[in-house]
Amino acid sequence: MTISVSANPANIQLAAKLLRQGKLVAIPTETVYGLGADAKNPEAVKRIFAAKGRPAHHPLIVHIPDKAALTDWAIEIPETAWKLAERFWPGPLTIVLKKHPDVPMEVTGGQNTVALRVPNHPVALSLLKVFGGGVAAPSANRFCRISPTQASHVEEELGDKVDMILDGGACVVGLESTIVDLSGNQPRLLRSGQISKTEIEQVLQISLEIPEKDAQIHAPGRMEVHYAPITTTYLCSAEQIKVIQKGFAFKHVHKLGVIAYSDAVKPDENSELVRMSANQERYAHDLYGKLRDLDKPAIDMILVEQPPQSEVWQAVNERLSKAATKFSLRTDTDFEQNDSEELKTILGWLDAVLRLAC
């Protein structure tokens, strides 16, 4: 297994050397850890896809050192791109533009567009400066699984598939970047992130189009299932969680993992409860790490309390909607009254779910 190393100047120099040799280096950013390769080296880029088990048609984000480097990677750059770069870079915003002819098709998934961003992390920026080029770096995890926000997560996920892991500490943001497509006539929001739709629209003075969920768009984070634990995970209301906890109490044999931000969800002996912050930024920062903590053999099922449905929570809700399954369940069941028919229905439902979870 590859062991992470401190992101000191000497190791950053070594990481740049490895990238030039076509090797893979896991790098910290403010969003999540990325699995980096020289974006101008097609064979190195192919190693990213092999390490992650990622489909070759799924494009990668290229990390660049500053906004001036846009012209090295894109053509026909609209004024809107320069406005967003001026306002949000370095930062958790990815801009999709028409690609420069020198950009390998392996990076873009065979498309004529390229996704670019300047990360807001001192280690990533130092590496990009020393390396002197663009680094293709999707999240450093197996495809569609929980993104890594610490160096140890990369070790757990990829082991010796990566040649070096630069340990830059825990990621500050904890969710992937917002993605805006400026390659066409109408700006489109392809993925939500810390930078909101409203913030972008205020800079551009243009409304962002939001593609339909089933639109055939190849972009990071557009898979129907993504950011997902191995353990079956459900997105529920607080009342639904209470009903399921009561049902599990009757089974006596199973263990629930529960992620909740409200006081309405209480701990019990059959649940491992993770209490999250009601502050969106803190919640986003902690989410992937907490999902990882519960994604273990001792847990039969993970229940996540549905966060508020507001724009500030859009990025969190988007991730959870891809990581978990929503379902309908009556919440007025009173197990105290021991209604045998209702109890039989609930426990039958639980048995069905647990069979799927095994």
Under 8 Å between Cβ of 288 and 304: no
- Which pLDDT score is estimated for 344? 54
Is 220 part of any domain?
Answer: no
178-181 and 188-191 strand pairing = antiparallel
User: Which domain covers residue 89, as residue numbers?
Assistant: 4-204
Q: Assess whether 338 and 266 both reside in one domain.
A: yes
Is 39 part of any domain?
Answer: yes
- Which pLDDT score is estimated for 354? 47
Per-residue HEC secondary structure of the chain comes to CCCEEECCHHHHHHHHHHHHCCCCEEECCCCCCEEEEECCCHHHHHHHHHHHCCCCCCCCEEECCCHHHHHHHECCCCHHHHHHHHHHCCCCEEEEEEECCCCCHHHHCCCCEEEEECCCCHHHHHHHHHHCCCEECCECCCCCECCCCCHHHHHHHHHHHCCEEEECCCCCCCCCCEEEECCCCCCEEEECCCCCHHHHHHHHCCCCECCCCCCCCCCCCCCCCCCECCCCEEEECHHHHHHHHHHHHHHCCCCEEEEECCCCCCCCCCEEEEECCCCHHHHHHHHHHHHHHHCCCCCCEEEEECCCCCHHHHHHHHHHHHHCEECCCCCCCCHHHCCHHHHHHHHHHHHHHHHHHC
- Which pLDDT score is estimated for 268? 87
Q: Assess whether 199 and 239 both reside in one domain.
A: no
Count how many domains the chain has.
2
- Which pLDDT score is estimated for 243? 82
Q: Assess whether 156 and 291 both reside in one domain.
A: no
Q: Assess whether 28 and 164 both reside in one domain.
A: yes
Q: 9-20 vs 122-131: helix axis angle to the nearest 10? A: 50
Q: Assess whether 198 and 238 both reside in one domain.
A: no
Is 227 part of any domain?
Answer: no
Specify the CATH number for the domain of residue 47. Answer: 3.90.870.10
Q: Assess whether 176 and 317 both reside in one domain.
A: no
Closest CA to 33 of 107, 132, 144, 123: 123
- Which pLDDT score is estimated for 69? 97
Q: Assess whether 189 and 271 both reside in one domain.
A: no
- Which pLDDT score is estimated for 274? 97
How big is the chain by its Cα radius of gyration, in Å?
22
Q: What's the CA gap between 12 and 23, in Å, rounded?
A: 14
Q: Assess whether 286 and 196 both reside in one domain.
A: no
pLDDT tens track, the chain, 358 positions? 677 999 999 999 999 999 999 999 999 999 999 999 999 999 999 999 999 999 888 999 999 999 999 999 999 999 999 999 999 999 999 999 999 999 999 999 999 999 999 999 999 999 999 999 999 999 999 998 999 999 999 999 999 999 999 999 999 999 999 999 999 999 999 999 999 999 999 999 999 999 876 665 666 755 566 788 999 899 999 988 888 887 766 555 568 899 999 999 998 888 899 999 999 999 999 999 999 999 999 898 899 999 999 999 999 999 999 888 766 555 554 444 444 454 455 556 555 554 544 3
Q: Assess whether 300 and 341 both reside in one domain.
A: yes
Specify the CATH number for the domain of residue 324. Answer: 3.40.50.11030
Q: 314-323 vs 280-294: helix axis angle to the nearest 10? A: 20
Sheet holding 271-275, edge to edge: 271-275, 256-260, 301-305, 233-236, 325-326
